[in-house]
Structure 1
Amino acid sequence: MQDTIAKKDVLKGGEFIIKSSKTEDTFIPEEFNEEQLMIRDMVSDFLHNEILPNAEKIEHQEDNISVTLLEKMAELGLLGTHMPEEYGGMALDTNTNTLISDVLGPSGAFTVSYAAHIGIGMLPILYFGTEEQKEKYLPRLINGELKAAYCLTEPGSGSDALAAKTRADLTDDGEHYLLNGQKMWISNAGFADIFIVFAQVGGDQFTGFIVERNSEGLSLGAEEKKLGIKGSSTRQVFFENVKVPAENVLGEIGKGHLIAFNALNTGRFKLCALSNGGAKESISTAVRYANERHQFKVPIASFGAIKYKLAEQAIRVFATESALYRVSNLIQEKVQELKSEGASFGEAKLKAAEEYAIECAILKVAGSETLDYVVDETVQVHGGMGYSEEGTAARAYRDARINRIYEGTNEINRLLTVDMLFKRALKGAIDIVGPAWEVQKELSSMPSMDKAEGAYGEEHKALADFKKIVLMTAGAAAKMQMDGKLKLKEEQEILMDVADIMIDILMAESLLLRVEKLSNMHTKIDQEVYDAMLRVFFTDATARIHKSATDALLSFAEGDLLRTFLMGLKRFTKYPMTNVKTARRLIADTLIEANEYCF
């Protein structure tokens, strides 16, 4: 067993751009075991019996419905599936917890109440709380007695969270901190019992606190009137000389950024899982309507333009889901490795999420933008009915929009993706200099005439070339910066282009590994359909990557250097032409026959 573990080369965070993965090391959703499927069914029953029938009540925040639902989830143990057993949790593995969020994805605005409570509301205490704080709060958060909220954003500090103005000043007797300031866009604020609050101790030391709702001087603004997620409580929180016991400092004074950023890693990952589940349900809504709606005496599902939309929805979701569960398993394996080395439950979870922070940022972007595409096209498939509040399409469209903004805007997450990669390279955690230099040498040599081999040889070759493109582009930009010819911090457009290439690489490789693995498994869907998804995605990814790399290179290179890079780019984007129309129709016909998302 020890030899097997030693031989397995598990990817480090961000290493996917320089290393290849094996299908046998990749987890796919089709591999869930019987126990995991039983949990899935239990959560699905709760979704369909408790959450969805109360959709209108949730939308209008009637009868304290979100609190009631959270308490019912607590009775089933669903608020502590990711928590240690000693505090009343179930300590389920990462893949199972990902599956739970995936299943709950169609819950609309309630996903916000749920995710804010179990994620950014609870994890800071698990990750950074003292043993006394954990014993005091975690069992009551897990059993539903307490509800949690997370107070980071202020009117003057959103993406620049560390610029917060809320102050915390130690009293003369040293027993309390006095909090003064305000927070805004606080999910769960209307019913939360405890708040994770960030404030500047002495005006300049960014620090976390656990603040109880009944503290004198704590007050709330009115419910915000929002574009979507109307069913989630979102209010401002005001602090006027709020006395917080000194023992309620969370983590170390001046180290609040560690709490904020590490909680967001997991939050971003969970957002992708919830978005994925919501997107699959939205596709089913679109397919059913397309089958029912007749125009010119035939179902609109028979029209090529509609088939394009349904197929493209499915391709994007299937690719995102493939990356989601691949990364989920990487995090799970890292947790197990850290535990075996003596890390505590909370430490292992924290460090594993931190290890894959790049992937979590990518998944947040991919999940939210895939969901956005899906709900938009579902409205379009419905036509005028999609614009009506009578069905679910309009609400899903409105609710989805927030996902590209919170947990760090998608722009911030793109910038972070590249920034974290460069920082890891500088620290020596990832070697991108060596592989980038190999690409440079290849550019000055004759192109290889080697033919792709195997059933998915063309895809493996294209994927290797995609990685060469990002190394060539990012490496050249980094070299320009080292030579003093470029200040990348001032060139966000270039960083966004590099991030987009990285996103496509993670999606493409995860999809390839899943489809390749499925080719050796018995499935209810023809392998030809999965292969069609793969070919369409690679065709489109080739075009996107070519465009992103071209835009980036033209931004900073010129003359012979630019010509060399553009020739290399042409060499590295040779994926074979695909009849994407026929491939998409095959995918759409599979959905139409199943009358739902069926992959």
Structure 2
Amino acid sequence: MKQTSVQHHTFFSRCSSSGEVFIPEDFSNEETLIAKTTDQFVRQEILPLIEETDDNRRQMVRSLFEKAGELGLLGIEIPEKYGGFSLGKKVSGLVAEKIGFGGIFSVSYNIHVGVGTLPYVYFGTESQKQTYLPKLLTGEWIGAYALTEPNAGSDALHCQTRAVLNESGTAWLLNGEKQWITNAHLADVYVVFARTKEGITAFIVERSYEGVSVGSEEKKMGIHDSSTATLILEDVEIPVENVLGEVGKGHRVALHILNMARLKLAFSNIGASKRALQLAVQYGKERKQFQTALVDFTMIQEKIANMVVLIYGAESAAYRTASLIDEELLDVETGNELMTKMSPFVIDCALNKVNCSEVLDYIVDEAVQIHGGYGYMQEYEVERLYRDARINRIFEGTNEINRLTIAKMLLQMKPPLSGENRQPNGRNDHYIQQAKQILKQSLKAISHFDRQKLENEQEYARLLADMVKNINVMESAFLRTKKIIAANGADHASLKSLMTDVLCEEGYRQVQAAGISLLSAAITDQEQRRMELDAIQHLTVPIYTNLFKKKREIAKAITETARYRS
């Protein structure tokens, strides 16, 4: 593949020092108060409504938007100039996490504050911002995002919806259908993507425009509480002032806004994961079999520990990414500035989306398993969490598409993974450095791949992406724990040290297995293959430890509090 020089300010080239990395423990008192306010909102306003009938839900969700607006939860990322708070990705992630398990509201909320609002913030004209942002941040209006079509899912930019400029050049005539639009029946305004002769263009379409209609609600496996329907556009006249960004360059709006949406979705998944863990531990403490509480069985303890460890890694990586983005977007006001600053973070956002959605799937599955037969019953909350979780591996680009994106961009980095030539700092850092060495070997083995070959043999992309995902989590957790120890001493970080031990040791084993699989397939010369595989097998790593014992300690510590605490 032709190597294009890409400057990446990602976890590969920044924050190798624990003192530089942001961790959840760094949140200020004011930011923690925002989190508590959000948590209180979910528990007092959202959870009591989950059992309401479908007929009542749409009006209840609109009411929840208004209450969220009153609390300031819709304006976290909106500039102060328009009534928002300009608090950035870390705090917006914190709020999304807390709302993450509020089933009746979480999906609608994420769409509204993310893809339903941020296009105006970064790509809107001053007039568009003044018109729409004040309404969106109060909950007076609800936003939606219309990209997907019946024949354009993962390949969304090959849409068939068309827009033609009228003869006088004053308005566009819009025709087409957009499928699976979240907030479809609730929204007052949609960001709609259509094909023009200049290319894909983004339009602001108000619900009140003649020719705009919404189909019936989709019957879904999960997320029953969110409105999902087809947006129908029949000869809709759109004023030229309602073009969002530049004509023919709507793909820039779509790709960069979706990039940020992936990170927000990751935080929402973290919140749902914590809720599923809490429910599993509570049930495991109450339920007895053979005169013994479930949490006292070591196989159940292993499940609980695995859940906790995965959350710790996901949380560490996601907040680290959000902090790096906040640093880059500090003074960004225009779409062009956003594209320049956000381009290096495509890998990071995709990694977090893939990791957190799969962590959530694992955790809700194990939570149902701990509940046994009761977990399959609808009167138990964990059953809803299980069904609702499944869509996250499809939302905001399937995990397969995201893995392809990660691999393609990784192969464009020049030089790949530079700046990592130092002595490891302890056993966990040793695992991390050797895992990176395996990744470098794997990248070298397929460096000759062109784009078409990677498209045709996607298993290589999957393995690369999974190696990077594991390394990102390992390093983020390691730096987080190291920073906590430096600030408070090892005694105050014993549990997090155990979790980091598990993440790094198991993560290394997973990277090693992926590297062996990739090199075995990619290197056709038998002697060269033997040399490369021997190099992996003979990497010096710390002796493996008794992870069963560590996991039992983790599980017992979590069982005492019955919930995960950052």
Give TM class, smaller chain: over 0.9
Contact 2:123–2:334 under 8 Å retained in 1: no
Q: Give 1:60 deviation, angstroms.
A: 6.0
Residue in structure 2 matching 1:538, options 494, 497, 504? 504
Matched, 1:412 2:381: no
Matched, 1:563 2:530: yes
Match for residue 200 of structure 2? 206
Q: Give 1:19 deviation, angstroms.
A: 6.5
Pair 19,241 (structure 1): closer, same or farther in 2 beyond 3 Å: closer
Q: Give 1:344 deviation, angstroms.
A: 2.6
Deviation per residue, 1:151-171 (Å, 9 max, x gap): 000000001011100011111
Q: SS at 2:202's partner residue? A: strand
Q: SS at 1:554's partner residue? A: helix
Match for residue 3 of structure 2? none
Contact 1:171–1:177 under 8 Å retained in 2: yes
Deviation per residue, 1:191-237 (Å, 9 max, x gap): 101110001114x6211100110111111110000000000000001
Residue in structure 1 matching 2:462, options 486, 496, 500? 496
Match for residue 333 of structure 1? 327
Moved more, 367-376 or 130-139: 130-139
Residues in 1 aligned to 2:323 and 2:59: alpha-carbon distance in whole angstroms? 36
RMSD: 2.3
How many residues are treated as equivalent by the alignment?
560
Matched, 1:431 2:399: no
Deviation per residue, 1:252-307 (Å, 9 max, x gap): 11111101001111100000111111111110110000000011111111001110
Q: SS at 2:253's partner residue? A: helix
Q: SS at 1:471's partner residue? A: helix
Matches within 5 A, 1:135-284: 135-202=130-197, 205-284=199-278
Match for residue 68 of structure 2? 73
Gaps of 5+ in 1: 1-10, 439-449
Matched, 1:588 2:555: yes
- The amino acid across from 1:118 in the alignment is V
Matched, 1:344 2:333: yes
Matched, 1:308 2:292: no
Matches within 5 A, 1:291-306: 291-306=285-300
TM-score (norm 2): 0.94
Matches within 5 A, 1:35-114: 35-57=30-52, 61-62=56-57, 64-114=59-109
Contact 2:245–2:335 under 8 Å retained in 1: no
Q: Give 1:15 deviation, angstroms.
A: 4.4
Q: SS at 1:16's partner residue? A: coil
- The amino acid across from 1:304 in the alignment is T
Q: SS at 1:519's partner residue? A: helix
Residues in 1 aligned to 2:409 and 2:85: alpha-carbon distance in whole angstroms? 33
Residues in 1 aligned to 2:219 and 2:490: alpha-carbon distance in whole angstroms? 45
Q: Give 1:354 deviation, angstroms.
A: 3.2
Residues in 2 aligned to 1:78 and 1:433: alpha-carbon distance in whole angstroms? 38
Q: Give 1:481 deviation, angstroms.
A: 2.8
Residues in 2 aligned to 1:123 and 1:344: alpha-carbon distance in whole angstroms? 11
Pair 525,133 (structure 1): closer, same or farther in 2 beyond 3 Å: farther
Pair 525,104 (structure 1): closer, same or farther in 2 beyond 3 Å: farther
Residues in 2 aligned to 1:146 and 1:19: alpha-carbon distance in whole angstroms? 39
Match for residue 474 of structure 1? 443
- The amino acid across from 1:591 in the alignment is I
Pair 58,371 (structure 1): closer, same or farther in 2 beyond 3 Å: farther
Residue in structure 1 matching 2:487, options 500, 510, 521? 521
Matches within 5 A, 1:9-20: 13=8, 15-17=10-12
Match for residue 403 of structure 1? 392
Contact 1:60–1:231 under 8 Å retained in 2: no
- The amino acid across from 1:283 in the alignment is L
Moved more, 458-467 or 346-355: 346-355
Residues in 2 aligned to 1:564 and 1:590: alpha-carbon distance in whole angstroms? 45
Q: Give 1:352 deviation, angstroms.
A: 4.0
Contact 2:10–2:345 under 8 Å retained in 1: no
Matched, 1:547 2:531: no
Contact 2:162–2:175 under 8 Å retained in 1: yes
Contact 1:129–1:250 under 8 Å retained in 2: yes
Q: SS at 2:379's partner residue? A: coil
- The amino acid across from 1:431 in the alignment is P
Deviation per residue, 1:57-93 (Å, 9 max, x gap): 3866536111110111111111111111111111113
Q: SS at 1:185's partner residue? A: strand
Residues in 1 aligned to 2:440 and 2:53: alpha-carbon distance in whole angstroms? 47
Residues in 2 aligned to 1:434 and 1:588: alpha-carbon distance in whole angstroms? 38
Contact 2:435–2:512 under 8 Å retained in 1: no
Contact 1:542–1:573 under 8 Å retained in 2: no
Residues in 1 aligned to 2:35 and 2:14: alpha-carbon distance in whole angstroms? 33
Contact 1:175–1:246 under 8 Å retained in 2: yes
Contact 1:268–1:364 under 8 Å retained in 2: yes
Q: SS at 1:172's partner residue? A: coil
Residue in structure 1 matching 2:360, options 359, 371, 380? 371
- The amino acid across from 1:211 in the alignment is V
Q: Give 1:124 deviation, angstroms.
A: 1.1
Pair 545,151 (structure 1): closer, same or farther in 2 beyond 3 Å: same
Contact 1:151–1:195 under 8 Å retained in 2: yes
Q: Give 1:355 deviation, angstroms.
A: 3.0
Q: Give 1:540 deviation, angstroms.
A: 1.4
Match for residue 390 of structure 1? 379
Deviation per residue, 1:405-450 (Å, 9 max, x gap): 0100001011101112233x2xxxx5228679x9xxxxxxxxxxx9
TM-score (norm 1): 0.89
- The amino acid across from 1:97 in the alignment is S
- The amino acid across from 1:464 in the alignment is Q
Contact 1:166–1:181 under 8 Å retained in 2: yes
Residues in 1 aligned to 2:417 and 2:114: alpha-carbon distance in whole angstroms? 36
Contact 1:59–1:229 under 8 Å retained in 2: no
Matched, 1:506 2:458: no
Contact 1:468–1:572 under 8 Å retained in 2: no
Match for residue 447 of structure 1? none
Gaps of 5+ in 2: 1-5
- The amino acid across from 1:567 in the alignment is D
Contact 1:153–1:184 under 8 Å retained in 2: yes
